[in-house]
Amino acid sequence: MPALFQVQSGTLDLDDVAVVTVLTPEPLRQAASSAAAIAAEKAAKIAESKRTKAAASVQADGSLIANGSFETDSKGKGWPDGWGSPKDRTMTWGKRRRESLPSPAASEAGQRK
């Protein structure tokens, strides 16, 4: 059968093309359902391990995040326990006017508070 690569025009004759094998969809459906079942089982195992890990790390107040309220500063460093601080110390924690929750405050003049 001649090939028409790099031609400007021409005709491709498909008179001698024949379908040799007919595919039945049943084996493909079975393979797809098997793969879906395996994927669902794997997802269930991952979800269960995440639930177990989360249950083990629940704080006394029911939060998954340690010191999620930013209120605990047991060392008195002016920074919430369990949260990283910038190395250059350009950020400090202040108090909001209406509430006692801490909020980031600028340390240099001209910066937003």
pLDDT of 3 reads 62
pTM above 0.75, yes or no: no
- State the average pLDDT over residues 32-59: 93
How far is the C-alpha of 26 from the C-alpha of 7, rounded, in Å?
42
Asked whether the predicted pLDDT for residue 99 surpasses 60, the reply is: no
**All residues at 6 or more sequence positions from 71 whose CB lies less than 8 Å from its CB, including other chains:** 80, 101, 102
